Amino acid sequence: MDASTIPRLVDAAADRFGDHEAFVDGDIRWSFTGYRDQIHRAARALMARGIQPDDRVAVWAPNIAEWAVAALGVHCVGGVLVPINTRFKGREAGDLLDRTSARLLFTVTDFLDTDYVGLLREAGVDGVDTVILRGSVPDGCTPWREFTAMADRVDDTARTMRSAAVGPDDFCNIMFTSGTTGAPKGAMLRHGAVCRSYRSWCDVIGLGEDDRYLVVNPFFHSFGLHAGILACLMTGATLVPHPVFDVPSVMVRVPEERISVLPGPPAIYQTILNHPDLDDFDMSTLRLAVTGAAPVPVPMIEAMRQRLGFETIITGYGLTEASGIATMCRHDDPPELISGSSGRALDDVEVLVVDADGTTMPAGEPGEVVIRGYNVMVGYLDDPGQTAEAIDADGWLHTGDIGVMDENGYLDITDRLKDMFINGGFNVYPAEVESLLLAHPLIGRVAVVGVHDERLGEVGMAFVVPATGAEPDTAEIISWARREMANYKAPRHVEVVDDLPVNASGKVLKQVLRDRAVALLNS
């Protein structure tokens, strides 16, 4: 199948897989034909609502069937999807809606006792045309059923023409990734690049029509959207969304839905392996795990095979700016290689390790990881300066990650130039967290570093210099942070200090703080 745009992918999946089960969500059990029809109906409703090609439409919701239908409907009318992290607070989501000039927002009002419309209004964000996918419908919003009924006003011939006009070089998504400036950056991705990248991804992992895929990774993330929703359309795998990662519920759903594919960060598998009731659950249908974002110890790989029944375990490396994927291990790689590397480059994608001058480092020597190929983003939304910093004149994307490559082209990520750390599979950028923490009235200055955590991989530790005359309480700061920012960003540890260590140019010495954090936590 050579579908070079998402609208063509939707049609091709229905043609190829027809009555095969495509999507399972509670009482919803759609065939690929039925799934396509739902998507096309949403597309016609979007046209009736006045959405034009290149208009930006946001989705802020958990992994539910309506998320996929709304998002793919946006793609089918030539719109640009703006996925919003479900962990964001109103201020953070409002910023993305404003910066993208989003014409429409799809959201929910009852996810984990959270009303997203309420969060926006509390933050002073109002006036965005809003459709409620699930939950109570606040004044001024449209319920999903009423929205989709608008499809009857638009003939499908018009929708077909709109979908056919979408080309491989058109933008499909603006996916936000936080950066060292403290503000999230919108990576602009194209249809052709995303479709091609994940066809390769599917080929490498061997995803197929007989697979039943529990998508725990959030749809707002490249893994959930591209390696989840799109990959299932490409291969005929049945998509079973899971709204929140909760070990007991995942362990129940595996036998219930005969799940064969369970991707996620290593923390997911480690938590399952550590569960005291693991032996009471039938996990025998599992066959394929795709992981990354943190080291995977060899004993864990062996336990995943022996105790969870996985036949194939694959690691990979990517970033939003590279459509989410750049390197992958292969299914027949030995456990030592899977554990010690993030694989080798996808076909037709170049990955190098270079020094500060751009010279390729010898095998085994560390340097910055750079990527060049069809999967690299066009640039950051409305930010030519940071785009030029990220992508050089020769087309190389500078990742800010430090890696070592062996003589066979297998890459091991060893450090991060930009001080990023990974909490439970989510990238956390200290500069952004520091910017948010400075809104606290008792904080004068702050520096954040990542520290080791057994369950989540890494968590944040904030070194706080009090505002003049203030006496901040560490527990209160942690509680405040959890209210004001996504919980994976909120620091788990806070230390009040008189000053921050800096070099001659005033730059905070993060390594000194990391060493201090280790000493404090181990004391």
Q: Does 80 share its domain with 35?
A: yes
The pLDDT score that the predictor gives to residue 178 is 62
* Boundaries of domain holding 478: 421-522
Q: Does 330 share its domain with 425?
A: no
Kindly report the backbone phi and psi dihedral angles of residue 96, in degrees, each rounded to the nearest multiple of 5, phi listed first: -70, -40
Regarding predicted confidence, which is higher, 243 or 225?
Answer: 225
Cα(504)–Cα(510) distance, integer angstroms: 14
Helix 6-17 × helix 65-76 angle, to 10°: 120
For the purposes of burial, counting CB atoms within 10 Å of the CB of 258, is it exposed (0-12), middle (13-18) or buried (19 or more)?
middle
pLDDT band with cut points at 50, 70 and 90 for residue 12: very high
Q: Does 478 share its domain with 402?
A: no
Q: Please state which of the ranges 7-21, 259-273, 380-394, 463-477 shows the lowest mean pLDDT.
A: 259-273
Q: Does 11 share its domain with 152?
A: yes
Torsion of CA 126, 128, 134, 137, to 10 degrees: 50
Counting the structural domains of the chain, the total is 3
Cα(81)–Cα(186) distance, integer angstroms: 11
Residue 381 maps to a domain = yes
Q: What is the DSSP letter of 279?
A: G
Residue 332 maps to a domain = yes
Cα(93)–Cα(116) distance, integer angstroms: 9
pLDDT one-digit tens code per residue, 465-498: 998 889 999 999 999 999 999 999 999 999 999 9
Is-contact 181 61, C-beta < 8 A? Answer: no
**CA triple 307-309-315, angle to 5 deg:** 100
Task: Answer whether residue 417 shows pLDDT above 80.
Answer: no
Cα(429)–Cα(419) distance, integer angstroms: 7
Kindly report the backbone phi and psi dihedral angles of residue 233, in degrees, each rounded to the nearest multiple of 5, phi listed first: -65, -35
Q: Which of 394, 416, 438 is the last residue of a domain?
A: 416
Q: Does 386 share its domain with 460?
A: no
Q: Does 41 share its domain with 137?
A: yes
Cα(45)–Cα(64) distance, integer angstroms: 19
pLDDT band with cut points at 50, 70 and 90 for residue 334: confident
| Closest CA relative to residue 159, chosen from 64, 302, 274, 49 | 49
The pLDDT score that the predictor gives to residue 2 is 65
Mean pLDDT for 60-82 is 98
CATH code of the domain covering residue 372: 3.40.50.12780
Residue 203 maps to a domain = no
pLDDT one-digit tens code per residue, 95-130: 999 999 999 999 999 988 899 999 999 999 988 999
The SS3 of residue 468 is coil
The pLDDT score that the predictor gives to residue 415 is 67
Q: Does 37 share its domain with 72?
A: yes
The token duo for 98 is 């404003």
Residue 211 maps to a domain = no
pTM: 0.85
Per-chain mean pLDDT for the chain: 92
pLDDT one-digit tens code per residue, 180-231: 446 789 999 999 999 999 999 999 999 999 999 999 989 999 999 999 999 9
